[in-house]
Structure 1
Amino acid sequence: MTKQLHVISHTHWDFEWYFSTHESLIQLIYHMEEVMDALEKGDVDNYYLDGQLSIVEDYLNACPHQQHRLSALVESGKLKIGPWYTQTDQLIIAGESIIRNLQLGINLGKALGGVEMLGYVPDSFGQSVDMPKIYRGVGIDKTVFWRGLSTDVYPYREGRWQSDDGSDVTFYNIRDGYYVGGQLIYCDDAVALVSQVEKGCLSQDIALPLGGDQRYVDRNVKSRIEQFNQQLSEANLDVRLVESSYDALFDRLKAQDLPMDILSGEMIDGQVSKIHRSIYSSRADHKRLNDMLERRITLELEPLMALATRFGIGYQKELINNLWRIMTRNHAHDSAGGCNTDKTNKIIVERFEQVDQMSSAARDYLVRKIAESQPVLENGARLTLFNTLPFAREHTQNLTLSTKSAGFTLSTVSGEPVAFDVIAQSQHYNGSIQRDPKDNDPNGYYYQTEIAIRHSMPALGFTSLVIEETRDALTPIDEKATYLIENNRYRIEYTGGGLHLIDKDNERRWEYFLTARDGGDDGDTYDYSPPAQDWVIDLSFNHAECVTQCGALQQRLTLSGQWMLPENLEARSHRFADTQCDYVLTLTLQDGLPLSIEFDINNQVDDHRLQLVVNSPIETKESIADTPFGFVRRPHYQLQMADWRERGWKEEPCGIYPMINLVNVSDTATSLSVLAQGIKEYEVLLESPSQPSGKVALTVFRSVGWLGKPDLIRRPGIASGQQYKYIPTPDSQMKGHQIAKLALLLDDKFDAAAVNHASQRWSIEQPYYQAQSLNQFTNTLKYFVMHPLSNTVVDETSMLTVDAPSLVCSSIQYEDGAVFVRVYNPSEYAIEDAGTLQFAQDIQDAWETNLLNQPLHLLTISQNAIHFGKFRAKQIRTFKIALE
């Protein structure tokens, strides 16, 4: 059988990197002219536009007159586009974001004449364990990728890749990179090229991708193929090159009965290509912003918009789509990684800020619109508390209220008193401002009071409380110089310069359970790398000022102190700690929530990595971390660490790993889950490779000053990014305040759904609205007048309840009169009867859908509920419910 090399013309288009998206757009405009001209003239048969539609959208926004021309080429099959909106990172981006990315890309591609249903990720820094089920969920059954797969895991280029739920796709690994076909143009050794790309191939049909970063179309591809085929014929090799496409390649693979084994799991090994296994902490500010906004859109704004439809407020689908368009541009692999120039990173932050302002304004508008449509109370003012999660909540939350008097009480609408702790109170002025505050109107003052309150909240709904002002002033809880806080589960002590945790349930004491660790970083924006002369400093909280605030509902311990750290790598090499960095560490205990930790350090030094370390007594050799729709088990020590250099790996396979929001270590007695808001990197610290450990180190941030550097200890060889020029990135030194939010949850054993529920309760804010006119700036839009709804809104309501303890809800959306609820089973085990989805109003019809929200089959409705029934391990399912 003749061996065929399928020459596939394409470009790889990083729309931002060491250049900005604005600079890249200029090249794109002229590039598209050349590509369309080459396709129309027949210089190339077809051309793959990197599998992402955002660049097509940018081009058509700049050149709308070319849409008909472009669509004609797409419809003819010559210009191949999609299915992604952007080439997403898969390891630190939330699962809903990945689904929305594909939804945007597929829908836009179809509107332009057709979309390539190929999971094409030629440059993403690793492949998530969940991708096969996500691909299958949108109708994709094949994928092409480059990075992450080692021959120790799977020796061939072709195979079947399977998720834990049983979903699988055919894969092709372009092991030599998406640019290997450039040798067809630049070199004349056909035999050497064939010898290179045929290694590890099961099939006689082999991909030869012809393209590169922002690469022009090779208009001489036909003549070069002819020359190479002539060479191969003269060498008496039964090999020929053909101009082709990925569709044609996979059709040929499908027609052959290849002995493909099943590949499972994630792919994060740097054997044949760099994987950048420590990029998860580069530009930590980006990661924090992205995580906050992903949570806000999917678990606050979208459910709130769905709830608002019950009162006649239209669901703004295009507003949501625009938010996702902006967000997913920041999810492209370089953008998500933060391995860019400073000017590009500034644009990324600007996009996050745009989404932040739009999403918070939309949330605040809806909360106000609903609350101001409730009837005015005869006695007191209304306080409306919202819950955007699909299950009831009852735990402590902090609110800030505005009152004319310094005292007030809280009660339910029916008159039952509601207790609260007073955290702080301050006086403010709402009169016309004067140059001299002494001239202020003495009647223009009011009080802002921060309180902690615990009250039951209905699932996806709201309830009302009553604020009645009193003459008796409130007294905030005193801050005391004591050294312990406790609740019904934990006791935290600050003694001997350290923090100690007592697990009351297990009567177990964890000495110095939380510390910090600072070491040098001689790496770049792609990778952490220790300097040749490192000095790792174990930081304690010795000599910190300690104050506590202990109320009935909330207890808080705050440490304020300073660390002296080396100013730079030179100072570190001399073990000279010469620069002060102030920090504040706050631990908060609230019944019903995990132990919450907020850490703020004012970073004033360069080239270092700072980690918070949870020193648990747990002994284990593996960690568990969450993935887009489940979790994965990882060894603390990967066996290839022993000889990776000798074996020619491109990067050290160390125990630095990605996470979405949580990491867990467990033994037979205790399960510790560390929850995080925006921290995306962890490692378990080891005394020796064979020794078990439960010391979890989370990277708060890394400080580096270069986009790429060559010959790193962890990553030998050429520089990543731009190998021909040192590009400084002083902003990546992360000077100023760096804030980390994390929480600790102890259980007897790891329960994936329970931990995810706890993470949602802890990290998803509960919006609230106070009926008052004293402070017109509780949100930006409150200053402007607003009409109430035509129909009065009730005091309390719940739209729906997900009663399924073993499932996790990832999104609630609304479109065309129907609610879409997506849930998944995060565990390794199947569930026979997962629970119900209960609605408070009549259901007209219900369907199960795919991940594109397209109906698959009708469901049975029973008393305004649907029964989830069986769930496979790690399975994702989406439900469409049309309401009466």
Structure 2
Amino acid sequence: MNNIVHVISHTHWDREWYMPFEKHHVRLVTLMDELLDVLERDAEFRSFHLDGQTIILDDYLQVRPDRREELEQRIREGRILIGPWYILQDEFLTSPEANVRNLLAGWQAAKPYGRWTRVGYFPDSFGNIGQAPQLIAQAGMTAAVFGRGVKPTGFNNYVRQSDSYESPYSEMYWESPDGTKVLGILFANWYNNGMEIPVRDEEATAYWDERIAAAGQFASTPHLLLMNGCDHQPVQADLSAALAAARRLYPDARFVHSNFETYIEQVRAAAPEKLNVIHGELRSLRSDGWYTLVNTASSRINLKRQNALGQLELERVAEPLAAFAFLQEVAYPHHLLAYAWKTLMQNHPHDSICGCSIDEVHREMVTRFDKSFQVAESIALDSAEALAGKVDTSCFAAYGNALPFIVFNTTGWPKHGVVTVELETQRLYLAEGKPAELKQRLSSLPFRPGYVITDSGGSLEAQVEDLGVRFGYKLPEDRFREPYYARIIRLTFFAGQIPALGYRTFAWATGTPPAASFTPSPLVTGPRSMENEWIRVDIADNGTFTMLDKASQTNYSGLGYFEDTGDIGNEYVYAAPQGHSALTTEDSPMSSCELVENWAGAATFEIVHRWAIPAEADSMLQEETDAMVPFMERQAQRGKREVPLILRMKVTLERGARSLKLSVHYDNQAKDHRLRICFPAGIQEDSHYAESVFEIAERSNAPYSEWVNPSYCHHQQSFCGMDSGEAGLMAAGLGLHEYEVLQDGRNTLAVTLLRAVGELGDWGVFRTPEAQCLGEHTAQLSLIPYSGKPFRTEAAVEAYRRSVPFTVSPTGLKSGELPPTHSWLQWEGDGLLLTSVKVSEETGDLVVRWFNATKQPAFLTLDAPSGAGGVWNKSNIMEERLHRLTPGQDGRVQLPVRSAEIVTVVYVRTGQGELPLE
């Protein structure tokens, strides 16, 4: 059968990368102007694929609002194709919910134009998540196109040949862990294999002979894909003439100026019955391991931390609190949340969040992170204050001087732990007198001891700090600002159980507390040991510690040592100097170990290492960088000069906690190195697991035989771990996305805390001194021991629960419509992990999402939201109502959930267009 050559015009538009955003922005405007001009004058130029990013429309129209009508017309005609994404993200380094919101934002941006490309488009993601087929299928797509993950792609996107592809063809089926299967199209010759097509016969003949043969080598059908474009590639204005020449020179072939939907439809119709099925994650594991680009997970670690904090505040705090307030008839701030999400997602393009751009790009990211977080935090605090204002606190009236406050738990599980709150004991407005006099009056007030009261009348021990007098202001909605001074105290206490997706009310009262009903046993049990109901910790002379998990009676020893190695790679790839040996703290005594916190709720030891490490690589690294010597061939070594690296690790055990908290603080003054913290699991298994996007992925400890890179690092969302049938150890972190299981006989989990390098890498010489990450850093982790594989998801619940802080809102003494302790939503489901509670902008429905973290079917059981009237509906990630769910005799809904299924339900309030029962 004769070949049908599908030429798809596009440009891969990295919004920022080797130039800052605005310089790329200028070139984008030029490109779009030229594209509209070409479409106007050349009817044969059928269509242009706008790289999947609807944000390009905003960026262009920001400068060219005068061409909006023309742009809309071309999109409606199908000559400019947009979507499905808002931005082209890195899938592994953005949260599950961020991946969903990216699709939702792309869809919402495309709706006014009347067209949305329903193709899962992953042209340059640095590996592809295993649940991508399920995600895009829930969005109504049946095919995905991608450039990485199946065959090795090397320097400057050069595609290298190998005999070990997961598929011999560029066409295959891609299956998620839940069994969802879509047609997968690999850019087997990259997404630039049809760029700059010649018009002149002699050049065109040489071009087409080579390009058709290369595409045909991998195609399973006569339909050959040639991508007419590349990174920031201008529109080929003479393409119609080039295709006319091709048709004349190759009369036996058909040359079509095509688009993805047409091409995929024809490939599907012509595909052979048996195509390879590839399963789950696509991470180029059948390669030499040098160009998987996994080490972008540790480039510019400070940005990863900011992103994790921003995602957490939006999806685990602000949205649930706003949704609870919505159920109490408070308007849901769709517009503000959309703005915060879009601002955050502008940092999620793969060359941005991966930390592999020039310094100017990443400086601008910090501002965007701050802006998004500030909006999310404002939404959270405003929602909490609105809810607190509706809570009945009259149970504290008998105490007279009580100061009530509400502690919110926005996770999907009951939670106890340490609560910290700042309270105003007295406030004086500046309108009442001169500032100095007001401040003096407040300062002279005596400090009075007191205690925390529970809503049931019990008393709790609290650590109390007098913070003195502080300036503040009130911003009423109906009048001018009201500045004041206030006397502030800070309370820290151990709260009993706070309901899932709910709150509990407490108050501070001065005076003598009632006699305690019991005296808790001390957590500190020795000069360097501590113990609670579940865990015992003993600190050794070298600063490592042994942790006993009482439930499984398993000891984990040698935990928490540090490793430092040289790094002569770049922002994309870690490369240790040849013949290097790692420096560790294992064989040296720690500098000090001091008990810095000891009370009924928590105990903390601070372990200090005063280390000297090489200050930078030797001078050869700069020479090799300037000469673009491949990092595998570099001869540079670590330099002789040393600088101090002082590591301060706080190890905290809270009462009742099944996890151990670690906080590592250090001031990095060294360049060209990598720092990791290591936890020997001591569990002899051949595989381990890590949290990925809507999945706990199983991974082999050892690479395939093709792998030659000495490093075998992996991505994680927030945790990784190792378990057997009887014991397990999980390491969870905040914004720490890179880990490795060391082949050291102990199956050590090594989590990267810092990677300091000085160049971008890839196709040119781009110095990035700020990627050396000089200055102060803090890393937060938790160690979670558990009783083996059957309890893995319980450990994941602990990681999720511990990652989300309590939200605390002071309030007054008053009656209210809400009880002192309350939960808005109660659910059950073994193995299910909750990821989202929000309100749909499209329908106004309450949206709740989980994923099944196990390989077993499960059931989700749901009560109606407290105080609401309506019905539950099964939905998809696009928040579309699929069918109504039937309550049982007890009024609860029970929904079967497949293994690894992402399940979304929506609560449709009465009168909001309920679907009939299925």
TM-score, normalised relative to structure 2: 0.85
Letter in 2 for 1:826: A
Which of 634, 640, 663 does residue 720 from structure 2 map onto? 663
Which of 442, 450, 461 does residue 502 from structure 2 map onto? 461
Mapping of 1:525-544 within 5 angstroms?
A: 525-532=571-578, 534-540=580-586, 542-544=589-591
Structure 2 residue 625 is matched with structure 1 residue 579: no
- SS of 2:820's partner is coil
Query: 1:55, 1:420 → 2: CA distance?
Result: 56
Residue 573 of structure 1: CA displacement? 4.1
Structure 2 residue 186 is matched with structure 1 residue 199: no
Q: 1:517 to 1:837 in 2, by over 3 A?
A: farther
Structure 2 residue 845 is matched with structure 1 residue 822: no
Alpha-carbon deviations, 1:414-443, whole Å to 9, x = none? 4222x2352x6344224799xxxxxxxxx9
Alpha-carbon deviations, 1:73-101, whole Å to 9, x = none? 11111111111000011112111111100
- SS of 2:294's partner is coil
Query: 1:596, 1:532 → 2: CA distance?
Result: 36
Residue 533 of structure 1: CA displacement? 5.3
Query: 2:524, 2:795 → 1: CA distance?
Result: 32
Alpha-carbon deviations, 1:717-753, whole Å to 9, x = none? xxx1xx23x2111111111112111111111223453
| Counterpart in the other structure of 2:876 | 850
Structure 2 residue 424 is matched with structure 1 residue 367: no
Alpha-carbon deviations, 1:389-431, whole Å to 9, x = none? 23322334444455563411111234222x2352x63442247
Residue 658 of structure 1: CA displacement? 0.2
Which of 396, 413, 416 does residue 458 from structure 2 map onto? 416
Which of 653, 657, 670 does residue 605 from structure 1 map onto? 670
Alpha-carbon contact 2:577-2:638 (below 8 Å) kept = no
Structure 2 residue 704 is matched with structure 1 residue 639: yes
Q: 1:102 to 1:866 in 2, by over 3 A?
A: farther
Alpha-carbon contact 1:804-1:836 (below 8 Å) kept = no
Query: 1:592, 1:836 → 2: CA distance?
Result: 27
Residue 274 of structure 1: CA displacement? 3.5
| Counterpart in the other structure of 2:255 | 241
Residue 13 of structure 1: CA displacement? 0.5
Structure 2 residue 232 is matched with structure 1 residue 214: yes
Letter in 2 for 1:49: L
Which of 482, 493, 512 does residue 538 from structure 2 map onto? 493
| Counterpart in the other structure of 1:694 | 747
Mapping of 1:411-810 within 5 angstroms?
A: 411-417=453-459, 419-422=460-463, 425-430=465-470, 446=487, 448-470=489-511, 482-503=527-548, 504-532=550-578, 534-540=580-586, 542-548=589-595, 549-570=597-618, 573=637, 576=640, 578-590=642-654, 591-641=656-706, 652=709, 654-687=711-744, 693-708=746-761, 720=762, 723-724=763-764, 726-750=765-789, 751-771=791-811, 793-810=818-835
Q: 1:387 to 1:222 in 2, by over 3 A?
A: same
| Counterpart in the other structure of 1:394 | 416
Which of 250, 267, 278 does residue 263 from structure 1 map onto? 278
Residue 445 of structure 1: CA displacement? 8.5
Alpha-carbon contact 1:620-1:693 (below 8 Å) kept = no
Mapping of 1:88-99 within 5 angstroms?
A: 88-99=89-100
Which of 279, 282, 287 does residue 299 from structure 2 map onto? 282
More divergent stretch after superposition (852-861 vs 799-808):
799-808
Query: 1:390, 1:480 → 2: CA distance?
Result: 33
| Counterpart in the other structure of 2:886 | 860
- SS of 2:366's partner is helix
Query: 2:524, 2:831 → 1: CA distance?
Result: 41
Query: 1:663, 1:406 → 2: CA distance?
Result: 47
Residue 370 of structure 1: CA displacement? 2.7
Residue 846 of structure 1: CA displacement? 2.1
Query: 2:345, 2:648 → 1: CA distance?
Result: 33
Letter in 1 for 2:902: I
Q: 1:659 to 1:865 in 2, by over 3 A?
A: farther
Residue 659 of structure 1: CA displacement? 0.4
Alpha-carbon deviations, 1:193-227, whole Å to 9, x = none? 11112112111101100001111111211221233
What is the total number of aligned residue pairs between the two structures?
Answer: 825
Alpha-carbon deviations, 1:38-91, whole Å to 9, x = none? 112225111001011011121123222322211111111111111100001111
Q: 1:269 to 1:843 in 2, by over 3 A?
A: same
TM-score, normalised relative to structure 1: 0.88
Alpha-carbon contact 2:740-2:750 (below 8 Å) kept = yes
Query: 2:890, 2:773 → 1: CA distance?
Result: 52
| Counterpart in the other structure of 1:778 | none
Residue 681 of structure 1: CA displacement? 0.3
Letter in 1 for 2:566: G
Letter in 1 for 2:489: Q
Letter in 2 for 1:332: P
Alpha-carbon deviations, 1:741-767, whole Å to 9, x = none? 111111122345323311121000110
Residue 15 of structure 1: CA displacement? 0.7
Query: 1:868, 1:738 → 2: CA distance?
Result: 46
- SS of 1:800's partner is coil
Query: 2:245, 2:844 → 1: CA distance?
Result: 60
Letter in 1 for 2:265: D
Query: 1:534, 1:446 → 2: CA distance?
Result: 57
- SS of 1:582's partner is strand
| Counterpart in the other structure of 1:6 | 6
Letter in 2 for 1:556: T
Q: 1:835 to 1:472 in 2, by over 3 A?
A: closer
**Runs of 5+ unmatched residues, structure 1:** 434-442, 645-651, 709-719, 774-787
Q: 1:445 to 1:112 in 2, by over 3 A?
A: closer
Q: 1:93 to 1:47 in 2, by over 3 A?
A: same
Alpha-carbon deviations, 1:831-881, whole Å to 9, x = none? 2x3333443224322211121111111111347854343211110111111
Residue 144 of structure 1: CA displacement? 0.9
Q: 1:507 to 1:820 in 2, by over 3 A?
A: closer
**Runs of 5+ unmatched residues, structure 2:** 152-163, 426-445, 474-483, 517-521, 620-635, 911-918
Alpha-carbon contact 2:389-2:816 (below 8 Å) kept = no
Q: 1:771 to 1:69 in 2, by over 3 A?
A: same
Query: 1:326, 1:63 → 2: CA distance?
Result: 21
Letter in 1 for 2:17: W
| Counterpart in the other structure of 2:838 | 813
Letter in 1 for 2:751: L
| Counterpart in the other structure of 2:428 | none
Q: 1:478 to 1:182 in 2, by over 3 A?
A: closer
Q: 1:505 to 1:461 in 2, by over 3 A?
A: closer
Letter in 2 for 1:170: L
| Counterpart in the other structure of 1:835 | 861
Cα-Cα RMSD: 2.8
Q: 1:598 to 1:79 in 2, by over 3 A?
A: same
| Counterpart in the other structure of 1:358 | 375
Q: 1:330 to 1:653 in 2, by over 3 A?
A: farther
Alpha-carbon contact 2:95-2:717 (below 8 Å) kept = yes
Letter in 2 for 1:331: H
Residue 240 of structure 1: CA displacement? 3.8
